A and B are shown apart, each in its own frame.
Chain A
Amino acid sequence: MKKRTITLIVNGETFELTVVPNELLLNVLRDRLHLTGTKYGCGVGECGSCTVLLNGKATLACMTLVVSVDGKEITTVEGLGRYDALHPLQQAFLDHSAVQCGFCTPGVLVTAKALLDENPHPSEEEIRQYLRGNLCRCTGYTSIVRAIEAVSKEAGF
């Protein structure tokens, strides 16, 4: 397969990569950029564990060919907060114990960020609808919804 050089802006940093046309964004993030926070949960777009922001929109990295996002901005869970300062959603997930095994957490956090960027004060129903593509097997979603609600009620949102 013919290789191509592309540019990705990941968590604010620019990367030039030579890729083959069938490489998936998920594998490039995990195997080449070592951003392993984005997870493989199903590989076919059914669980949401690989959700990243693509120019601000929640996108499934396992269903995205990396060549199709040439030049675009990607935010992964590692780019949500800074090392010395968590994103308010990350803090709320801690405070509300919305993290159990943590495997779905990166995808859920990224999806929640997309939601609050779009709609800073969603209703419980809107939160649940927005999260419908993110499976969680540990929490039953109650604590996740509460954590997102708490952030949406904070000043500045």
Chain B
Amino acid sequence: MSITIGKGIPKVDAQHKVRGDTIYADDYTVPGMLYGKVLRSRYPAARILALRTARAEHLEGVHAVITAKDIPHNELTARFGQSTSVGVQFEGIYRVMADQEVRYFGEPIALVAAETPELAEQACQMIEVEYQPLEGIFDPVRAMAPGVRQVAEKPQNIASHFKIRKGNVEEAFASADVVVEGAYQVPYQDHAYLEPESGVAWVDEDGTINIRVSSQVIEHFREVAEVLDLPHSRVRYLGTWIGGGFGGKEDITVESFLALLAWKTRRPVKLTYTRAESLLTHSKRHPFFMEYKTGAKKDGQIVAVQARLISDAGSYSALSPWVLLYATVNAAGPYHVDNVWVDSYAVMTNTPITSAFRGFGAPQVNFAYESQMDEISHRLGIDPLELRRRNFLRQGDSLDTGWVYDRPVAISEAAEVAWQALGPKPTSPNPQVAIGHGLGAGMCSYGRLTFLHDTSRSYIKLELDGSAIIRCGVPDLGGGQGHILCQIAAEELGLAIERIKLYITDSQLTPLAGTTTATRQLYMSGNATLKAARILRGRMLEKASGMLSVPVEDLEVQAGKVLSKSQPEKSVGLVPLVNRMSTEGEELFVESQFNAPFTSIPASEVIEGQIHPDYTFGAYAVEVEVNRETGALRVPRIVACFDVGKALNPVIVEGQIEGGGIQGFGYALTEDMKIEKGVIQTPSFAEYLIPTAVDVPDLETILLESGTGLGPYGAKGIGEPPMVSIAPALTNAIYDAVGVRVTSLPATPEKILMGMLAQEEGGG
């Protein structure tokens, strides 16, 4: 009988969050604290001819002004958590501050620490920067051509290039009965977490820099130490409960600045970005330009997919190579296709940094391949669900890398369940309003790339009164990443969840659990915690066996006790059991490490074999109402169905799907980040429109539990996957309603209207 698993137990962190008691990064103050501020570039591409800081330094109340020349190591090779070199394909630089040249609008040029935020701001304004503007490179497609000015250090603007070469696409296209081709474009997306980037740093009496910061990656302590030329052991991250991340707090944000300012002033320093600063300068989802060609037989069998993907890698490559790799591996989607040819490129431009965002390359290609599937379904007159069913990946089929997927795949079931739940299309009561239904299916990995050799560690200690402490370096973004470890430990050890203390994200005290990215924490830290709990449970059963004279195999753990399965009257309570263990010198603590499957580094740009540990599959079915006169769109229904393996806490899982689905809704319909010559024109929530409560319907969620995941109890990861496949479901529904194929997101009323007008002119 399950004690906690499968139950919608409220999250341990929600208890303090509803009271307003949670101390987020900006809520923390330290006596004697100064305030930091960043001076940023006003040009997207320029040489810095002179940088004069003397006036700012002499302003009363200013304690430090720092520029690139003051930083021990201003440039590092950008890492992705890997401990060994994985090749130049994947490398770029992380530069703390611009030195001699700026590459993007908003690039940091100088740091100030002062007594008040106002003084820090004033000091920034007193720093004089002389720029010589350079030709800005803003179009990634043009930037690929030879002879174009180089944005970065690489010998060309193409930062990374990957290939898929599966089968023989030329022959397959020749054999196809129908071939569809299309060009697709997807835009920037901002994470738009409600908590702006923030942190506080101070230097301890022994010279350790402590950084209390909202970050998805506490392992960045190593890079910050390298920036300052300090031993890794002299920088400590104290992660906070994070006010939203979605990948935007995966790269370093304020931490290097805080460490530099605290180190120089030997005073505590706080730095919180304004909303405009956050929107203007933090990384975005990569815009992609995609050309797709798909060939099918009359019966709907897809025989070939060819894709050319160009991603705008921005001004520093950050995680662009990795995102591109994910997109490449996802290019043919959750389908079995024998012949796949992909060429993908990440191209540097003088535009904002592009990096991790929920989905990590999967939503971009998903929009293209699911639009193609919809076209084929219309061309062949095969129902959209049926066409997909004939092609969905099944156990034993291979992905586009040729890796044979030998686990059960519930994608067909997920698509069918979602589509059936949406039901028949209602007739519109208003002739001005056309109703459409659309389907989108997708896949998304969970767990990091297998050649990065991912690990996580977790620690559990039993207390004498039967309570327990979990220590794990898991950053919690609000998805229950920390809480679920408590549910796992409670299940295995028979503990009441409220008697477990969860201690997370202290890089010097919590076992390092890796990044809260890549939908990996339940899989990795969940398994590490399960492993630790099972070792402790083994010790408990062993001891109870002796105390009760019952063989271990006949014992089970229930809430607060261990008892005999065959003679339930024979039992021992948790408290006497733990006390006996303690008295007899048993170790009441365990630290465990979980290792993901390891593979070798890709030998060339041709990507083959296993790249990820596993994938989560799911589908959206949506209903839209399009106003034929104005193009205005309303979405009355969204149904999501995902195979989550096992829902350890169904309410949290549903929340991930509801939130991810609506984030994808924004990507598809409302979030229109305007950028002109490298400068974002929409740096506020009044201009960059994330969905509000009135824009969206209740998202209907259906969970499938195949039990086939690699996580604890057969769970799969669900953090990122819901971001994938809602966008094409919506645009396919628009096509179904009014016959307009939207090929660039967001699908604004204007685009829909222009499409309808073009049809009329074309006599359609």
* Interface residues of A, Cβ cutoff 8 Å to B: 30, 35-44, 46-47, 49, 76-78, 81, 83, 86, 90-91, 93-97, 99-106, 109, 124, 127-129, 131-146
The 8 Å CB contact of A42, one of B8, B20, B684, is B684
Could you say which of A90, A93, A135, A144 contacts B194, with CB atoms under 8 Å apart? A135
The A-B contact count (CB < 8 A) is 175
Chain B residue numbers with a CB within 8 Å of A76 are 20
CB atoms of B244 and A141 under 8 A apart: no
11 CB contacts below 8 A, A to B, read A40-B272, A41-B195, A86-B18, A91-B18, A93-B18, A101-B245, A103-B193, A128-B693, A131-B693, A137-B194, A140-B691
Question: Chain A nearest CB: distance from B587 CB in Å?
Answer: 35
Chain B residues near A97 (CB, 8 Å)? 8, 10-11, 14, 651-652, 654-655
Convert B684-699 into 0s and 1s, putting 1 for each residue whose CB lies closer than 8 angstroms to a CB of A: 1110001111101011
Contacts of B428 on A, CB cut-off 8 Å?
none
The CA of A110 and the CA of B241, in the complex, are separated in Å by: 21
Contact A41 B275 (CB under 8 A): yes
Does more than half of chain B's interface fall in helix, strand or loop, or is it mixed? loop
- The distance from the CB of B699 to the nearest CB of chain A, in whole angstroms, is 5
Binding site for A on B (CB under 8 A): 8, 10-11, 13-15, 17-24, 26-27, 191-196, 241-246, 272, 274-275, 477-479, 651-652, 654-655, 658-663, 665, 684-686, 690-694, 696, 698-699
Contacts A36-B23, A97-B11, A101-B478; A137 near B663 (Cβ below 8 A): yes
The CA-CA distance from A141 to B15 in the complex, in Å, is 19
Given A94-B10, A142-B699, answer yes or no on A37-B21 (Cβ-Cβ < 8 Å): yes
Q: Using Cβ atoms and an 8 Å threshold, which residues of chain A touch B13?
A: 99, 102
A101 CA to B272 CA, complexed, in Å: 18
Given A97-B652, A101-B194, A137-B193, also A37-B14 (CB < 8 A): no
B604 smallest CB distance to A (angstroms)? 39
Contacts of B245 in A (CB 8 A): 101
Interface majority SS (helix, strand, loop, mixed), chain A = loop
Which B residues lie within 8 Å of A139 (CB)?
655, 658-659, 662
Residue of A78, A104, A139, A145 ringed by the most chain B CB atoms within 10 A: A139
Q: In angstroms, how far is the closest chain B Cβ from the Cβ of A75?
A: 11
With most chain B CB atoms within 10 A of its CB, the pick from A38, A128, A139, A141 is A141
Q: A42-B684, A47-B685, A99-B18 are in contact. Are A137 and B192 (CB under 8 A)?
A: yes
Q: Point out the residues of chain B lying under 8 angstroms from A136, CB to CB.
A: 194, 693
Contact A103 B24, beta carbon cutoff 8 Å? yes
Is there an interface contact between A100 and B19, defined as CB atoms closer than 8 Å?
no
Which of A43, A83, A101, A133 is B243 in contact with, Cβ under 8 Å? A101
Point out the residues of chain B lying under 8 angstroms from A141, CB to CB.
658, 662, 691, 693, 696
Please state if A100 and B659 are interface contacts (CB–CB under 8 Å): yes
Interface centre among A78, A100, A131, A145 (most CB of B within 10 A): A100
Across the interface, do B20 and A38 meet the contact criterion of CB distance under 8 Å?
yes
Alpha-carbon distance between A139 and B691 when the two chains are bound, in angstroms: 11
Cβ of A56 to closest chain B Cβ, rounded Å: 18
Task: Given A102-B22, A103-B243, answer yes or no on A93-B693 (Cβ-Cβ < 8 Å).
Answer: no
Bound CA span A101–B438, Å: 31
Flag if B694 contacts A129 (CB, 8 Å).
Answer: yes
Contacts of A86 in B (CB 8 A): 18-19
Bound: A106/B14 CA distance, A? 12
Give the residue of A46, A83, A145 whose beta carbon is less than 8 angstroms from that of B693.
Answer: A145
Q: Select the residue from B18, B23, B27 with max chain A CB neighbours within 10 A.
A: B18
Q: Are A39 and B194 in contact (CB under 8 A)?
A: yes
Docked complex Cα distance between A141 and B663 (Å): 11
B610 to chain A, nearest CB (A): 32
Min CB distance, A124 to chain B, in Å? 8
Give the docked Cα–Cα distance between A102 and B13 (Å).
9
Given contacts A47-B194, A97-B654, 11 further A-B contacts (CB under 8 A): A39-B195, A42-B684, A44-B686, A78-B20, A99-B13, A99-B17, A100-B477, A134-B693, A140-B665, A140-B691, A140-B696
Using Cβ atoms and an 8 Å threshold, which residues of chain A touch B661? 140
Q: Which residues from chain B contact A106 at a C-beta distance below 8 Å?
A: 20
Residue of A nearest to B117 (CB): A27
Contact residue among A94, A133, A143, A146 (Cβ-Cβ distance under 8 Å from B15): A94
Whether the Cβ atoms of A128 and B694 lie closer than 8 Å is yes
**Is B478 a contact partner of A138 (Cβ separation < 8 A)?**
yes
